[in-house]
Structure 1
């Protein structure tokens, strides 16, 4: 059990902190985006991935359920909708992208049985991976200018060629035939995976480091261009709804929360985590961090988790 402590002295300080100092740098964290496994949190450490469960009592703590050893640095994580930890038998299914350009599929019952499958195909760093809502397919985007769509049953894949390195990939939550792919050049395309044809594109004219499709509103996209937050409404896709400069340096990573009201972003070079309301872009949090590497929202709770070097920092964020 990993217990939290808090040294909250101001509104910008985290409500809870968990120290992984002996384990090393935390490269990626990922809360499950599904109701049946909503308290599951994956934590990628230098050579292993911790499968943990969030325990909420007076404070919060993390219960370690399993360790998956992968031997490489993790670049991205994704959890399958098949995962459940609240019923028996347990079933945990997730994948990781390593710095060896390979994807590892992990499956465990959190007991005696576990397995790992390695998928090879990319020739450069994999920047993002995502399961479709029905967990029939896994999409991955890479610096090799491709997005690959893997069949998770027979492990075959289809390759779509991009015009620049892929930075983010995300599925429509209700329609598993629709896939969003963001490119570093500043282009966001939406594909019909059945026909493998683009059906819509968005372009802001500046290099793009991150993008996310709102989990609760399929019309809303947020993207980050040279430190500028851009909000898109797909019902009026010709121009962004609004934009605001958030960082003074390039790069960064963002995620929209489960209710679609808040967007959080970190920039490792600038050393800040910031949270804003999507509609008004009013800032709800600005906190200085030593080395922010990743962030993730809880599925239901207004709880943001940020990996800061070898610590996990948790904030309760109000949307009012």
Structure 2
């Protein structure tokens, strides 16, 4: 089932896609990482919305990284760039073996992989420091959020009161880290004094994903139970808006990077993909997939990508 208000494309893959992630940085926004059971493939993508010479979507796989375990999360480094020499592709992945792997490549023969150990349960999310890319964070079912140096050191460990499902870093708040906990509480920690400085309560469980709006460091969102919720941290620790997303529960939630009023979710029954507009009741995308893992927005275009069965699904969302 799919509505007629959105344009859909697919990128074929060799296996079921476990994670997808567009680079969130302007200088590398054409890059898409796609993880399957045995590899992480890097694609470049161009869309007709940015280049009139392209018919729909134009993509090319530029590099494959071998992976020894299933991937549970991916995050791009801001140091990634194809426009300078030597080219640099850099990202971190979390595996089912509870370890983190930092991959670096020039797209040719110079490839490195660095392993980080410390978590003792599933890692649910990873994120890079949006500044110079010298640090990244991870959060896990082991009730911790950890900050790592790309040189190999574990810098900080924040103790959580419930499994950490999402971790977010905001470019306007580089000394703070946001963690969404499964018990419905979103906590913001200070990297300076290593203490929690704010808690937001969804009032319902389970919280399986949270996000920090790129357009405002005061806007935080999450999915908990069957609903998506929006917080304004300058007003209240309670949500200022709540709307049902999926009647049998939700799994993924992401704010659009290019538009302050759009957000995407995936939930049940089945694997429904929806794009909501917070300004009105219109659904911009309402589709059902057989397989759906991962959810990511393009940096500058109203396009979402979702992992499927031997393909990546892409939707171009009509401008609100």
Alignment TM-score > 0.5, same fold: yes
Residue of structure 2 equivalent to 1:26: 17
Q: Would you say how many aligned residue pairs link Structure 1 and Structure 2?
A: 311
- Structure 1 position 294 matched with structure 2 position 294: yes
Indicate which of 140, 143, 150 corresponds to 2:141. Answer: 143
Partners of 1:232 and 1:243 in 2: CA distance = 9
Residue of structure 1 equivalent to 2:172: 174
Q: Is the alpha carbon distance of 1:188 and 1:78 closer, same or farther for their aligned partners in structure 2, counting shifts above 3 Å?
A: same
Residue of structure 1 equivalent to 2:192: 194
Partners of 1:268 and 1:84 in 2: CA distance = 37
Residue of structure 2 equivalent to 1:98: 95
Query: Where do 4+ consecutive residues of structure 1 move more than 6 Å?
Result: none
Q: 1:212 deviation in Å?
A: 0.5
Unaligned runs of 5+ in 2: 48-53
* C-alpha contact 1:148 1:160 (8 A) present in aligned 2: yes
Residue of structure 2 equivalent to 1:113: 110
Residue of structure 1 equivalent to 2:307: 307
Unaligned runs of 5+ in 1: 1-7
Structure-1-length-normalised TM-score: 0.93
* C-alpha contact 1:32 1:41 (8 A) present in aligned 2: yes
Q: 1:261 deviation in Å?
A: 2.0
- Report the aligned-residue RMSD: 1.7
Partners of 1:257 and 1:303 in 2: CA distance = 9
Residue of structure 2 equivalent to 1:123: 120
Q: 1:249 deviation in Å?
A: 1.9
Partners of 1:29 and 1:44 in 2: CA distance = 6
* C-alpha contact 1:231 1:278 (8 A) present in aligned 2: no
Q: Is the alpha carbon distance of 1:19 and 1:269 closer, same or farther for their aligned partners in structure 2, counting shifts above 3 Å?
A: farther
Q: What SS does the corresponding residue of 1:36 show, helix, strand or coil? A: helix
Partners of 1:96 and 1:26 in 2: CA distance = 14
* C-alpha contact 1:261 1:319 (8 A) present in aligned 2: no
Structure-2-length-normalised TM-score: 0.93
Q: Is the alpha carbon distance of 1:271 and 1:150 closer, same or farther for their aligned partners in structure 2, counting shifts above 3 Å?
A: same
Greater relative CO (CA pairs within 8 A, separation 6+) = 2
Residue of structure 2 equivalent to 1:253: 252
